[in-house]
Amino acid sequence: MEDFSLDLELSSLPKEKWWGDDEYLFQLGGFWHLPQLIHGVHGVINHFQPLPSDIILASFPKTGTTWLKALLYSIVNRSSKHRLTVENPHSLIPILEYNTYGTTHASATAIPPSDTNHSRRILSTHIPYQLLAKTLDSSECRVVYVTRNPKDTLVSTWHFVNKWARAKEERWPFQVAVEKFCRGLIPSGPYYDHVMGYRNLSLDRPKYAHFLTYEELKNDPKTHVEKLAEFLGYPFEGEDVDAQVEEIVNGCSFEVLSNHEVNKAEGFPARRGLPSNSFFRKGVVGDYEAYMSAEVVDKIDALTKEKFHSFGFIY
């Protein structure tokens, strides 16, 4: 196996505790990364060369990655969308820094095509644009970025982290999660810089980068699925466009996807360190209200205003 990590010295990177006494994040290029992913991140930055036909789904964790994986897969592989009934979306679309360049998977250096009948690859990443600018700007690959409002993203992250094996010994307290989120000290953080990086890319290169939010997709999935299909070069055609779009929207809805046996599984599939059911929790907008005091809401809203509003981006 080619080792993409050889030239990275972990001990040379800044690190900070984000949880408990011994859980650290490592800083590379101004962003924080989990130790188990840092070599993969480094490998992608230094070695990944997208094909012009590649579709890259980029996202901050917990903002709708699983949903978008299902939608992109269904749009591109219309004839084999039934695979979503038997495979978790994460098994169909690899995460570059984990499945492909991560050092934990000895046989995973080859990037699989998104479908055996199809030549276009769909790949995903949580790596910020700021670290991939050289890679993406020199390519004609298509980037789809999904984001989500910061308060729901934080609540979803908090639930997700507390499902990890480590949390059985010690939970990640909510007030710690809020404090770390606001400081940017969570995996792939700072959230705000992550979002603005891809937001600016989509404004600079709209032909190559498409930016959408979890909330607008929830509010009007049909319109956004049609837009995605057009952007990727797979427009819906024929007399039954409405029915085609509706079938994809329904097949990828939280209710349908989360009820497939494969997505209810609590086990740990090969090549993925997390159970399939951990990617489906509630799937709604505004769930933060059940967890945040007015004081926490004010704190995050003030930060959001400072970080986003001066760039004309509203949340």
Which positions touch ligand A3P (CB under 6 A)?
59, 61-67, 152, 156, 159, 252-254, 257, 279-283, 287
CB of 62 to ligand A3P, least distance (A): 4
Measured from the CB atom, is 60 or 101 closer to ligand A3P?
A: 60
CB of 314 to ligand A3P, least distance (A): 20
Distance of CA 101 to the CA centre of its chain: 16
The strand pairing partners of 57, in sequence order, are 124, 144
CB of 95 to ligand A3P, least distance (A): 11
CB of 165 to ligand A3P, least distance (A): 17
Q: Count the alpha carbons within 13 Å of 50 in the hemisphere toward its beta carbon.
A: 27
**159 included as an active-site residue:** no
Spatial CA neighbour of 90 closest among 109, 110, 72: 72
Q: How many CB atoms lie within 10 A of CB 2?
A: 9
Strand segments, DSSP code E, in 79-141 are 122-125
Measured from the CB atom, is 65 or 304 closer to ligand A3P?
A: 65
Measured from the CB atom, is 145 or 279 closer to ligand A3P?
A: 279
Helix, strand, coil % in the chain, rounded to nearest 5: 50, 10, 40
Print burial letters for 144-161: b (CB count within 10 Å at least 16), e (below 16): bbbbbbbbbbbbbbbbbb
Measured from the CB atom, is 5 or 187 closer to ligand A3P?
A: 187
CB of 14 to ligand A3P, least distance (A): 26
Which residue of the set 33, 42, 90, 126 is catalytic? Answer: 126
Question: What is the C-alpha to C-alpha distance for residues 61 and 157, in angstroms, rounded to an integer?
Answer: 7
Q: 3-class SS at 308?
A: helix
Residue 237 burial class via C-beta count within 10 angstroms: exposed 0-12, middle 13-18, buried 19 and up: exposed
Print burial letters for 58-82: b (CB count within 10 Å at least 16), e (below 16): bbbbbbbbbbbbbbbbbbbbeebbe
**What phi and psi values does residue 101 have, to the nearest 5 degrees?**
-110, 0
**Beta 209-213 vs 15-19: how paired, if at all?**
unpaired
Measured from the CB atom, is 80 or 253 closer to ligand A3P?
A: 253
Measured from the CB atom, is 142 or 159 closer to ligand A3P?
A: 159
Question: What is the C-alpha to C-alpha distance for residues 267 and 271, in angstroms, rounded to an integer?
Answer: 12
Residues marked active site are found at: 126
